[in-house]
Chain A
Amino acid sequence: MDWIQQIVNGISLGSIYALIALGYTMVYGIIKLINFAHGDVFMVGAFVGFYAIESWKLSFIPALLVAMGISAVLGVVIERVAYKRLRNATRIAALITAIGVSLFIEYGTIYIRGAQPEAFPSVLPDQIFKVFGASISSQSIFILLISIILMLILQFIVHRTKIGKAMRAVSYDAEAARLMGINVDRTISATFAIGSALAGAAGVAFGVYYTKIEPLMGVIPGLKAFVAAVLGGIGIIPGAMIGGLVLGIVETMVSAFGYSPWRDAAAFVILILILIFRPSGILGKNTREKV
Chain B
Amino acid sequence: MKKIMGFSIFVLLSAVSYGIVQSLISAGMLNQFYSNTLIFIAINVILAASLHLVIGITGQFSIGHAGFLAVGAYISAIFTMKLHLPFVPALAAGGIVAALAGLLVGIPSLRLKGDYLAIATLGFAEIIRVVFLNIDYVGGAAGMQVSHFTSWSYAFVSLFVTLLVIMNFTNSTHGRACIAIRENEIAADAMGINTTYYKVVAFAIGSFFAGIAGGLYAHNFYIIQPSNFGFLKSFDILIFVVLGGLGSLSGAVFAAILMTIVSTFLQGYPETRMIIYSVVLVIVMLYRPQGLMGTKEITAYLGKWTGAKGEDAYGK
Q: Which residues of A lie under 8 Å from residue B127 when comparing CB positions?
A: 265, 268-269, 272
Residues in B with CB closer than 8 Å to A275 are 109, 112, 116, 119-120
Q: Which residues of B contact A108 (CB under 8 A)?
A: 275
User: Can you name 19 A-B pairs with beta carbons within 8 Å?
Assistant: A86-B285, A86-B286, A91-B115, A97-B281, A99-B63, A100-B282, A101-B278, A103-B275, A103-B281, A108-B275, A110-B271, A111-B275, A261-B133, A262-B134, A264-B130, A271-B123, A272-B124, A272-B127, A291-B187
Are B285 and A272 interface neighbours, CB within 8 A? no
Interface size on A, residues (CB 8 A): 44
CB contacts under 8 Å to A, within B41-90, are: 61, 63
Inter-subunit contact B235/A99 (CB<8 Å): yes
Task: Tell whether, in the assembled complex, residue A85 and residue B111 are in contact, meaning their CB atoms are under 8 Å apart.
Answer: no
The answer to whether A103 and B235 have CB atoms under 8 Å apart is yes
B246 at the interface (CB under 8 A from A): yes
Q: How far is the CB of B215 from chain A (nearest CB, A)?
A: 24
Give B131's nearest chain A residue, CB to CB. A265
Taking the closest CB of chain A, its distance from the CB of B267, in whole angstroms, is 15
Determine the distance from Cα of A275 to Cα of B122 in the docked complex, in whole angstroms: 13
Task: Identify whether the interface residues of A are mostly helix, strand, loop, or mixed.
Answer: helix
Q: Is the CB of B111 within 8 A of A276?
A: yes
A85–B284 CA distance with the chains assembled, in angstroms: 12
Query: B277: CB under 8 A from chain A?
Result: yes
Q: Tell me which of B61, B272, B274 contacts A95 (CB under 8 A).
A: B61
B278:A271 contact, CB within 8 angstroms: no
Interface centre among A99, A107, A108, A275 (most CB of B within 10 A): A99
A272 with B277, Cβ < 8 A, contacts A89-B289, A90-B289, A219-B231 known: no
Closest to B246 in A: A92
Instruction: Give A214-232 interface residues, CB cut-off 8 Å to B.
Output: 219, 223, 226-227, 230
The answer for the CA separation of A267 and B277 in the assembled complex, in Å, is 29
A55 to B68, CA, bound (A): 45
User: Quick one: which of B115-165 are within 8 Å of A by CB?
Assistant: 115-116, 118-120, 122-124, 126-127, 130-131, 133-134
**Would A265 and B116 be within 8 Å (CB), given that A85-B286, A111-B275 are in contact?**
no
Contact A226 B61 (CB under 8 A): no
Task: Check if A93 is an interface residue, CB within 8 A of chain B.
Answer: yes
Q: A91-B115, A269-B127 are in contact. Are A104 and B285 (CB under 8 A)?
A: no
Q: Does B238 count as interface, using CB distance less than 8 angstroms?
A: yes
**Does B38 lie at the interface of the complex (its beta carbon under 8 Å from any beta carbon of A)?**
no
Kindly count the residue-residue contacts between A and B in the assembled complex, taking CB atoms under 8 Å apart.
Answer: 116
Residue A106 at the chain B interface, CB threshold 8 Å: yes
> Chain A: residues with CB nearer than 8 A to chain B?
34, 82, 85-86, 89-97, 99-104, 106-108, 110-111, 115, 219, 223, 226-227, 230, 261-262, 264-265, 267-269, 271-272, 275-276, 279, 289, 291
Residues of chain B lying within 8 A (CB to CB) of residue A95: 61, 115, 118
Evaluate whether A271 and B286 lie within 8 angstroms (CB atoms) in the complex, with A106-B274, A265-B130 already known: no
A219 to B122, CA, bound (A): 12
Given A230-B119, A275-B112, decide whether A101 and B124 contact each other with a Cβ distance below 8 A.
Answer: no
Residue of A nearest to B232 (CB): A103
- Distance from A47 Cβ to chain B, minimum over Cβ atoms (Å): 16
Q: Is B201 among interface residues, defined by CB-CB distance under 8 A?
A: no
Does B130 lie within 8 Å of A261, measured CB to CB? yes
Q: Is the CB of B119 within 8 A of A100?
A: no
Least CB distance from A270 to B in Å reads 9
- B108 CB–A CB distance under 8 Å: yes
CA–CA, A108 to B279, complex, Å?
11
- Residues of A near B118 (CB, < 8 A) are 34, 95
Q: Indicate if the CB atoms of A279 and B112 lie closer than 8 Å.
A: yes
- Judge whether B242 and A96 touch: CB under 8 Å: yes
